[in-house]
Amino acid sequence: MYGGSLAQLVQWVWEHMPGYLAVLSRLSGLFVTAPVLSSRFLPVRVRVPLLLVLAAVLYPAVGDLQSTPWPWQGSLLAVYGSELLWGATMGFVANLVFIAVYVAGQIIDMEMGFGIVNVVDPVAGIQAPVVGNFLFILALMLLLLGDGHHVVLGALWSSYRWVPVGAASIGEPVVTGVLRCFGRTFVAGIQLALPVAGALFLTTLALGIVTRTVPQANVFVVGLPVKIGVGMVMLAAALPVYRLVMGGLFRAMYGDLSALVRMMGR
């Protein structure tokens, strides 16, 4: 704690500012890519003060950082740049669950006939599939109800025990681990889409049989409403399953974050 004159205050701030900026860099990377924290629902005028306050709270908890060099005394890329990249990597891994949700929504939309219909995702501000946007909101609610955003911030705090400031190394094991997590994202997306997409495939198959049996039937007029109705019913029926599956995906994501921290500290 500080106690003394103005000159001592300036000296105290000067000594602690490099370490504070290092903590702020890692936290800033997390705010760029992590779910909820990177949301457009958090405007800049709220995000920046929140970022500064969280960095001030984390700084005393991560140990003595007074030896952190100033950018003109060391390499900016090696110190603050690596901290920013490290935080962004953690946020990217945490955000892979939502990428899987978008993949599932795109597959379901293609089967339901919504392939050319997109809506604006209010969180990310991008064009997203209709069902994917619904599943994204569902996943976001489950993340917040399960205090997942606190778990992500807790993983960042615990990362300082494994990866001190300036010691982060994004080598081959880390890149391989991130790519492996990214590859599992598409598998998870297919698994999420399988109940609804499977039912829609059987519906398409049945409509094809009807077309071959009754050529006079206008399957193009009947088929789209039928597939939309079947898709909505199956989507509603699969909601309890989605809750369990997404809970498992979030637990796997927490494990991936822990493994990533350990690999980064090697």
Average pLDDT over residues 8-29: 78
Report residue 171 as tokens. 């080598």
- Which element (helix H / strand E) includes 120? strand 118-120
Give the residue from 236, 94, 223, 224 showing the smallest Cα distance to 151. Answer: 94
pLDDT at 77: 56
C-alpha span between 21 and 39 (Å, rounded)? 23
Mean pLDDT of 74-96: 78
**Alpha helical stretches, state H, 113-162:** 130-145, 148-162
Q: What is the pLDDT of residue 66?
A: 46
Return phi, psi of residue 15, to 5°: -75, -35
Two tokens, residue 92: 């990217």
Report how far residue 95's alpha carbon sits from residue 115's, in angstroms, rounded to the nearest whole number.
24
pLDDT in tens, 182-229: 888 888 888 888 888 888 888 888 888 887 787 776 767 777 788 888
Contact 83/168 with Cβ under 8 angstroms? yes
DSSP string, 17-79: HHHHHHHHHHHHHHHHHSTTTT-TTS-HHHHHHHHHHHHHHHGGGG---TTPPPTTTS-TIII
Q: Which residues pair with 127 in a beta bridge?
A: 120
The DSSP code for 264 is H
Q: What pLDDT sits at residue 72? A: 43
